[in-house]
Each structure stands twice: as structure tokens, then as C-alpha cells.
Structure 1
Amino acid sequence: MIPAGRPFPVPRGACFAQNLTRNSNTTSGLKSFKQPTTLNDPRQFPVKAKVSPQKLIDRYKKGQSDAVSLLHQLAQVLQFHLEIKETIASDAPPPLPVKEESCVFDIRHNRASSETKIPVNKQIPHAVRAQLSRLMSCHPQFSGCAGTIAAFLLQTSSECKVVALGTGGFNTRESISSDGRIVHDSHAVVTARRSLMRYLYRNLLMFYSKNPTLSQQSVYQHKSNSNLLSLKTGISLHLYVNSLPKGAAVIPSKLYLNPLSISAWKVNSEIGLHLMVEGKVVSVLSSAVENFAYKVVSMSTADKITQWQVIGYQGALLSHFIEPIYVQSILIGDSCCTDVRGMEVSVCQRVEGVTSQLPMFYCMMRPQISLVPSVATCTTSSNQLTLGINWSEGDSTSEVVDGLEGKTVEESPFKSGTTLASRLCKAAMLHRFKLVAKEAQRHDLLATSSYREAKRMAKAYQEAKSVLRAYLRQQGFGSWLEKVSVSDNFTK
């Protein structure tokens, strides 16, 4: 169909009048046909007045006249005005005019094209909202847990799907666990990231499976220049959060970052590293930090994202098998946030220039940061405020963890055992690590004596982490909090 307001294109092939000439020569046996100057000129089609319309129609049915001649003859006999305009067409008769939106072929074609062209910052909130709705519809009694949410999504050429999801906003009030069965940080982004690690472990087991079908379905591929696996070509990872990460991401929009300038030192408590303790955010450069010596603290969410964009989201144990995994974009669905300058400073500008000092495969990956619609409304009135949900693709149901206790609640849809240890705890991660090491026939990793030793054996990862933390300290952003060693000394 030709859009309105545009000239008709000239196609290859004969025009309608030329087709008519060929048809007339064939059907009537005439040697030539002189095209009339006016198609409704009665001199060109002499008709006796006594000829009835039915006879004209019978002659047409017998092949003694063509359709155009019949129309003109009927016009003369019945005495009505007929005007036929010559149009340019292909060998086939011109199609009937149809509105563009009603054409089935065009609808399907345009829909497919539009889906592939929908930007990722529109696909992701829709996918997260849909997955959250599915989880909440199965267990509506925990709908109050969805106030804060973070999710990781994998995008391919054909789809954009949620593979890991987490909610929550608390640190445990319990003391440091020595058996690896307490989750100390249950903030949404941390929970989602640990859920992502479970997804990555699951795909490693698929990759090393003896079943070719399962292996092919894995997200990993071998690279010729490395002993480590990588995500398949064409797969990208994205992060969605529905609240601005606490810490350095929340800074004045007019702040200009220059760590060595006098003005920057005046605001170092805002752009430096931060701690999370008892629901509060405190700068590591603050004198108040000394008061938290005997409390469970963790680095702020913004600082953790900064670190993961340099050393990867896979963690130390997975680094034995795969290359660093980074997110290509961070989408913030915070209705109270007006710009992303704080995230740009926190995640990108603070570590600008560190890449040259990092070991092979590691880099400062600058993500695309943007504001998008929120998929959930943050709330502080819910009686489930301390609870958090975790889920990853492949899970039969979600798990609910009490952030203050660091363990699964009795009412959780999924419970791993009577101890109520979360499937996100360190002990659970070590168990998955051993399973993968066995499938990959990594006897050196199976021989490790503790969780701590297995992490230390990831030499490149540990080097990258050390380089990053030294760089942040040298730039004046403060020192990274070191974990209590006893928390990683468990063996199973």
C-alpha cells in the first residue's frame, strides 16, 4: 500500500493498458488494438441499441469480449456514466486499498521490529514487574517484603529476562557467624547479587553436565585464549534497583569531583566510602566509626556496586571457573531521584584510571546509568519490613529471610532445613563450589581445607580486589572495611 501524500512508484512490468492490449489480441484474435484516447468514447465500442444487457454478459462469459469492453457496453445500453482511469501497476491487478494498520502482515512485521528496537531501559522494568508479580501472586502474604527490590537480568537478541531477584534493607543484629550459616547483609542489591551467584553456579553444573542438551543450554562458552569460561557472545547483564543505593551515590547534584582539590576534601564524607550499621549510613572518615567496633557492619550498597564493576559480580569462588562478569547498565527506578550524577560519581569517577593496574580480564566497566519507572513502592509501615525475598531462575519458589536474624523464617515457602540457614549463606555457596569443582574435575579445588582458603586461591581476583582498595585509599576516599577472619574459616 502506498502511504498517503507520497507519489506512486513506477514498478517494473507493463501497465494495465498494455496488459489489456495483450489480452485483447489473445482473446479476440485481432492483430492489433488501438488504444482509445478516451476509454468511454462510444465510437470505439459500437453497440446496437437493441442488444440486451444479458446478451452482453453472455458474450463476456463465452470469452468474446473482455471485462473493460463489457463495462463500456453496459454503460451505453443502460445509459450511465462510466470513467476508468489508467493506473500504473504490475502484471497483477492493483490491490484494493486497505488501511495500513489493518494489514495482518504489516502488523506482525511491525510488532517484531518494534520489539527488537525497544530500548533496554524500557524492557527491564517491565520484566522485573512481571517476575515480581508472579512471585507475589504465589505467596501474597509476603507482599509487604517487596518495598525495596533489586534484580539482575540477562539480555539476548531474542529476550530480556530476570535471572535473579532480591528484596530487603537490613544487616543482621547477630554476632559474626563462624559456621557460615548466617547472612550478615540482606540489603536488596546484595541479596540479588548472591541470587545471581546461585544462577551462575547452576549454569556451571549444566555446562559440565554429561548431558549435551543441558550443556548447550548453559550461558557459558569456552574461549580459545583462556582456561576460564565466559558468557556466550550476545549475552549482556543488567541491574535494576528501585531505590538509589545508599552511600556515595547520594551526593549533591552540583558537586564536582576532584579528589585532590581542597573543595573535594570538604565533602569527602559524602563522596568517600561508607559503612552500613544498624540501618544507618556513616562515612568511613567519620570519627563515629570507632563506636562500631563491636557491631556487625558492612560497606554501603553504592560502594559494593563500585567494587563489583571492577572485580566482577561473580565473587572469588566462581572466579576459579569464569571470567569477571559485569553489568552493562544500571537502571534506577527511584521516584524520589531526579538525576544519576551521584551514581556516576560513585561507580565510575571514583575509580577512573584503575584499569591499567588490574590483572588480565579485569577492568573498570563503566555502565550506562539511567532513571526508569519504578516497579514497586518503597514503604516503611509494613510489619514485614525486616523480611527479604530471594529468588533465581531455576528455583521452584522464593525464600524469605529475616534480615535482622540472618536466617529463613518459619513461614518461608522454601526452607533448606531445620537450622533455617538461608540458601544464600556462605556455607551454601561453598557446597555449590565443591559440586562444580567435582564436575569440572578440579582436584586442586576439592582439596581446599576451608572457605577462606578457596577464596585465597583465586589469585587474580584477590589481586584485583587489593589493587582497587589501594587505589580508593590513595585517591582519598578512605579504607575499605576488612572482614573478621573467623567468618570465613569454616570447612563445610
Structure 2
Amino acid sequence: MPASYGGSNERKNTAAKVQKVATTLEMINQESELMDATEDRYWSSASVENYENISKSAQAYISESGKNPVSLVMEYMQRVGVQAVFKCIDKGGFQVSMVVDGVKWSGLVCSSKREAKVSCCRVVIDYLIRQGKIRTRSSCEGGIQLKNSIFEHMENALYSCFDYECSSNSELKASEKVIAGIFMVDAVAAECHLISWATGNKCVQGSALCTDGCTVNDSHAEVLCRRGLLRFLYQQLEVYLRDEQKSIFRKVMGRLALRPSLTFHLFINTAPCGDGRIFSFSSEDVASGSAHKPEVDKNKGALRTKIECGEGTVPIPDDVHMQTMDGIFGGERLRTMSCSDKILKWNSLGVQGCLLTAFVRPIYLCTLTIGQLFHYGHLSRSVCCRLGDSLKLPLPFKLNHPYLASCTALSSHRAVSKSPTLSVNWNISDGTIEVLNALTGRINRTGEVSRLCKRAMYECFEAVESKVRRTSAEAPIDETYLNKKERCKDYINARDCFLKALEDNGYGLWLKKPDEEKMFTLNH
């Protein structure tokens, strides 16, 4: 694994001082049941050399029982009065899956049906132990304690970094009303790195929308934080092209994938706007975990859009029509999807987005931690469970159910009532903060273009693709940003399935920005 992930020696030193979390191997082992990478463990056939990568607790339980994993699962299902149904798929080998607690669990692709069934049951046992539904010696001795957990370490690291960068500027300090950070946990190196963070809760005003890709439309902390992660992923692609061993990626079935020891984790100091937030003000719920029990009724789960230049969200009207540039410039409200809806999209299609799927397999969040207004039922519904079995995604995409946790050690004591138009972002690859005016979508005061805008992301993509072309002898093509995205057929097909599932379930129409906003090239 690479020793560091920064863009220069100076940035690495700075990041080491403030961004690297001092997690010990003992703590990582204690939390490993929360941190296991779902992508490789549960359904990637490329993880055969690591077996299913199940937790130590599950391995010990199976070993000490002296029984076949299939027998252990059958005994559990009989005990709880549920019929065990296995499904086998021929994928150039055999892969068996079964549904437990409404979630499909799959084993590895194996050479025989018997081996595939055993592999699937090992995964199911691991899940049941993590949920406390199968008691092991270690769980009877106390289990996982969330006090002083890795979630609190993440929260502390995020606020420490923010204070280090912004405490001397009262204007920037006020932007922390909503703050989010994405962390990368390396289970092998026993390290936790803060990869990206951002503050903000405003969107661009309609009059500032442009057709050259130079404005940032959504300056909510969660959204900017994820775009900072994209810059890190692009940087790691360039590292891979120089030296595969120093990158976070490895090659899996012709495409790059995150190394199995690495997982990404999102922390937000308050519930994401939209469906995950609006019902949490009047509800109490302190549960956490990965066995999601969403609260669902006909009045909940609907798609919502953010209020232009303001705070909060509103439902999407039944008679809504496609957004157009001339309509917006003529005074129509600019609609931007809520953060709850966007996180649902990330849990369906991956945080890497469209363009990066040209190079990498989908990357999903392992955990989602919320500070204030945490309600387990509403949060699980909003960020993943409202689609349930109705969402049929083509491989390698899946509906991801991250571990949901609450951590209010600092967030509850740092409430900010003022909501400024400024937004701050930082990522480990660039190593410096950037301050945006959320209403203009550009850098504050200077009006310069942000490193997080569409155009900047397209430049990152082209920089990687140009290096790939040199090795494949492909001719460069001057395409629009929109056309380039449409060439990522796997992602587009999965996205269409996602949007159709939303409409079929009565949650509404996903409102996109006008196509003209994406019809720019880097040469014009």
C-alpha cells in the first residue's frame, strides 16, 4: 500500500499533522465488523484469493462449531422460523445467493455448486454475527462499544482539520453549520485518512447557471465532499498508471477496483436535507447498525428539491416539467435534488459517478455517520431502503446498505445558527482549502473557476484518458462533456434503472439540469 496519498511532500507533511487519525490496530480490529468492504466481500468474483474476507469472529465461530457453514445457517433459519432459499447463478462458475433481512447476500464464484453454497453461507454467518443474531464468545464478553469508537475519531479529526484551516476567519468559521467528511480506512495498515471535507448548505442561483461547465451548482457539504473524493480518485488513477503497487486500485476483470482492505466512510454533522431530515425533527430513534428497518409509508420517501438561494427542501410537483436554460433565465425556479436523494443515488450507482466508471468498478460507502437529527428508520429509508427489491441493477452495480451510526460527541456542542453563502472545501490531493460563493458557484471574491466544477472534473478525466490512449493507440476525440458521459453505457443503463424504479414506486421524477449546461468541450 502507498505510504501516503497527498499531492506533494509539503501537502503530505501537513496532512500527516492534521488529517491522519491516530487509530491503533486494536481499535481497527474491534471495529472490523463495521469496516469490512462490502463490494469485494459480498459479490466480486475477483476476491477468491482472499476468500470471502469475513471477520475474525465469524471465522472463529465456524471453526469452533465443527460444522459446515451451510448447516449453521440452516439451524439458524429453523430457529427463527424462516425458510432458507438459495439461488444459484451460472457466471462461468457457480455463485449462490440468499436473502436475509431483506438484503441479498452472495458468495464467491466457485467451481461447484456445493462450494458456492458454502461460500454464501460464510458471508451470511458473518452478517448474522455482526448483527448480534448469532452470539459468539467475543460478543458475549461485551461486543463493540461505540464510545470512543472510530466514528468519534472521525468526528474529532474532521473538526480538528476544520479548526486548523478556518478558526482564524470568523466568516469561514460560520460556514460549519453543515460539515461533511469522507474518510478512507486501511485495515491492513491500521490507518484512517481524512480524504475530503467541505462545509455549506446553499445552491447556485439560476441566473449564475452557465453552459461552459465553470460553475458549481450544489455547494451543500455532502456534495462538495464527494467531489473532493473524485479528485483523489483521479489522482490515484494517475498513480496507478505510474506504479500499480502505490495506488489504492488493483485490476479486477479488466477494470480497476478498490483494494479489498480499503473502505470509504462518510460523516455528516446533521441529517442530510430532504427525506432523511424532514421527518427527524419530531421523531426519536437512537438505534444504529446495518440491519436496516426503514419507516415507510405513502407520505414518506418522495423525491425533494433544494430551495434556490435558501435552506430546506420542497416536494417535486406532479405536474413538473423538464428544466430548460431559457426557462431558468426567464425566472423559473432552479431545482436541485436533495442530499438524501443524492446519497440514495450514490448507494445505487456508486460514489465514483459516471465518468470514472470508464476506468473503475463502482465504489460504495461502507458507513454513514450522522451527528444531529439522527433517526434510524427515516435515514435508512431515505439513503437506501426506499427502493428495496424493486431496484434491479445490472452488474456490477448493486443497492448498497451502509452501516448507519450516530455520533454527537462534538456536533451537538458546535451548533451554528447563522447560514452564510460561503462554502469551504479541502481534499488530500490538492492539500489546500478553497472558498466558494455558493450563490455564484465560483471562488469567493475573485470569481475564478473552482477545482470542483464540471469543467475541472472533465479535465481530470481527460488527463487520465490521454495517458491511457498512449498505451492503446486510440485517436483522441474532441467530445462534449455530455457525450463523454453518455459513452459510459454501463453507468447510463444502471442510472436509467434507478430513475425508473423511483418513478415506478411513486417517489417522483428526478429533475436534471438542462442538457445545454453539459454541452461544452475543453477546447472551447
Q: TM-score per shorter chain, which class?
A: 0.5 to 0.7
- 1:113 aligns with 26
- 2:270 aligns with 243
Tell whether the 8 Å contact from 1:391 to 1:398 is kept in structure 2 after alignment: yes
Tell whether the 8 Å contact from 1:434 to 1:446 is kept in structure 2 after alignment: no
Deviation at 1:362, TM superposition (A): 0.2
Tell whether the 8 Å contact from 2:362 to 2:396 is kept in structure 1 after alignment: yes
Cα deviation code 1:218-256 (max 9, x no counterpart): 211112xx2210111210111100111111113264999
Which of 513, 520, 524 is the matching residue for 1:483?
A: 513
1:427 aligns with 2:455: yes
Q: Distance in 2 between matches of 1:475 and 1:283?
A: 15
Question: CA distance change for structure 1 residues 288 and 227 in 2, over 3 Å: closer, same or farther?
Answer: closer
- 2:233 aligns with 200
Residues 81-480 of structure 1: pairs in structure 2 closer than 5 A? 113-114=26-27, 116-117=29-30, 119-136=149-166, 142-157=172-187, 158-175=190-207, 176-209=209-242, 212=243, 215-223=244-252, 226-250=253-277, 251=279, 253=283, 264-265=297-298, 267=299, 270-278=300-308, 279=310, 280-285=312-317, 294-334=332-372, 337-354=373-390, 357-373=392-408, 375-376=410-411, 377-381=414-418, 385-410=420-445, 420-441=448-469, 446-480=476-510
Tell whether the 8 Å contact from 1:182 to 1:421 is kept in structure 2 after alignment: yes
Deviation at 1:340, TM superposition (A): 2.1
Deviation at 1:449, TM superposition (A): 1.2
Deviation at 1:286, TM superposition (A): 5.8
Question: CA distance change for structure 1 residues 437 and 290 in 2, over 3 Å: closer, same or farther?
Answer: closer
Question: CA distance change for structure 1 residues 290 and 205 in 2, over 3 Å: closer, same or farther?
Answer: closer
**Paired amino acid for 1:434:** E
Deviation at 1:160, TM superposition (A): 1.2
Deviation at 1:271, TM superposition (A): 2.0
Partner of 1:271, secondary structure, is: coil
Question: CA distance change for structure 1 residues 326 and 117 in 2, over 3 Å: closer, same or farther?
Answer: same
Deviation at 1:349, TM superposition (A): 1.9
Deviation at 1:128, TM superposition (A): 1.8
Q: Distance in 2 between matches of 1:149 and 1:421?
A: 22
**Paired amino acid for 2:477:** A
Residues 14-93 of structure 1: pairs in structure 2 closer than 5 A? none
Cα deviation code 1:299-330 (max 9, x no counterpart): 01000000110001111111101011110110
Question: CA distance change for structure 1 residues 423 and 338 in 2, over 3 Å: closer, same or farther?
Answer: closer
Q: Distance in 1 between matches of 2:434 and 2:172?
A: 10
Q: Unpaired runs of 5+ in structure 1?
A: 1-109, 411-417
Q: Distance in 1 between matches of 2:245 and 2:465?
A: 19
Q: Unpaired runs of 5+ in structure 2?
A: 1-22, 32-148, 286-292
- How many residue pairs match? The answer is 358
**Paired amino acid for 2:405:** S
Larger radius of gyration: 1
Q: Distance in 2 between matches of 1:290 and 1:483?
A: 8
Aligned-residue identity in percent:
27
Question: CA distance change for structure 1 residues 235 and 179 in 2, over 3 Å: closer, same or farther?
Answer: same
Deviation at 1:375, TM superposition (A): 4.3
